[in-house]
Amino acid sequence: MLPRTAVLFDIDGTLLDFHGAGRKSFVQALEQMFGWRDEITYIHFHGNTDLNVLRQIFAAHGAELTAAKQRDFFAALAMELNQLAAEAPSTCHPGVAGLLQALAADPRVALGIVTGNIESTAHIKLHRAGLRHFFRHGGYSDEHADRADIARQALGRLRADLPPGTDFSAVWLIGDTPSDIAAAHAVGARCLAVATGRSTIPELHAAGADAVFPTLADTAAVLHALGLI
């Protein structure tokens, strides 16, 4: 059976919580690469993308972000997160493992990642949470600052596995912020929003989510909302 439904997952706040290790790795990589001691308290990570964060930091420092600096910083970021990950607790949000198992076992479903992380740190976070094996494809922030472009990249990679001339009949993005909802709608997808991040259920409704859940714990209810049962 061919996959008919693409289900794309955001990582932070949706699948897992890395308890500040992502922010800490940014702070440490900034000092290591550029000698900047900056706690980046002016940066909001929720719903943001790593490339956009880096651009915001360079703008705050009045510095020019070259392609080489971007590449070198992202390499340092992955090294810092890898070290922190050895000790940092990583918590899967309720129901995540059960939902992913159900979706992965469904031949109608193609799973993907749409995250503001760069690919290397996304993989570190997923691996640490025991979720890496669920995802072959994704869209990441290495080249894209706009989450809609990241969603486009992920969908393009998932579609490359489909027979030529065919397409998904439904695309869902599961995320925890208004940025996920906007990115989903920008690429013609629907958004199932989950309030396990910073955004509340009313905020996610107000941002136009197509479905809102307090957590992903009720697998049957989520599968029903996705049109799979």
Cβ-closest position to Mg ion? 13
Closest CA to 142 of 76, 74, 78: 74
Query: Dihedrals φ, ψ of 159, to 5°?
Result: -65, -25
Centroid of chain to Cα 69: 23
Rounded Cα distance, 170 and 110, in Å = 11
Neighbours of 174 (CB within 10 A): 27
Nearer to Mg ion, 108 or 205 (CB): 205
Site string for Mg ion, 132-171 (x = CB under 5 A): ----------------------------------------
Pairing of strands 211-213, 91-92: unpaired
Contact stretch for Mg ion (CB under 5 A) within 12-20, 160-168, 201-209, 213-221: 12-20
Q: Does 176 bind Mg ion (CB under 5 A)?
A: yes
Give least dist CB 197 to Mg ion, A: 5
Supply 6's token pair. 């693409």
Give least dist CB 45 to Mg ion, A: 9
The H-assigned helical ranges of the chain are 21-34, 50-60, 67-85, 96-104, 119-128, 147-159, 178-186, 201-206, 219-225
Neighbours of 91 (CB within 10 A): 12
Give least dist CB 179 to Mg ion, A: 8
Nearer to Mg ion, 19 or 71 (CB): 19
Q: Does 17 bind Mg ion (CB under 5 A)?
A: no
Q: Are 174 and 14 in contact (CB under 8 A)?
A: yes
Contact stretch for Mg ion (CB under 5 A) within 11-19, 53-61, 64-72, 86-94: 11-19
Q: Does 50 bind Mg ion (CB under 5 A)?
A: no
Q: For Mg ion, how many residues bind (rule: CB under 5 A)?
A: 4
From candidates 10, 50, 80, 142, binder to Mg ion by CB under 5 A: 10
Nearer to Mg ion, 50 or 176 (CB): 176
Give least dist CB 35 to Mg ion, A: 30
Give least dist CB 160 to Mg ion, A: 25
DSSP letter assigned to residue 163: P
Kindly list the residues in this chain that would bind Mg ion in the complex (CB under 5 A): 10, 12-13, 176
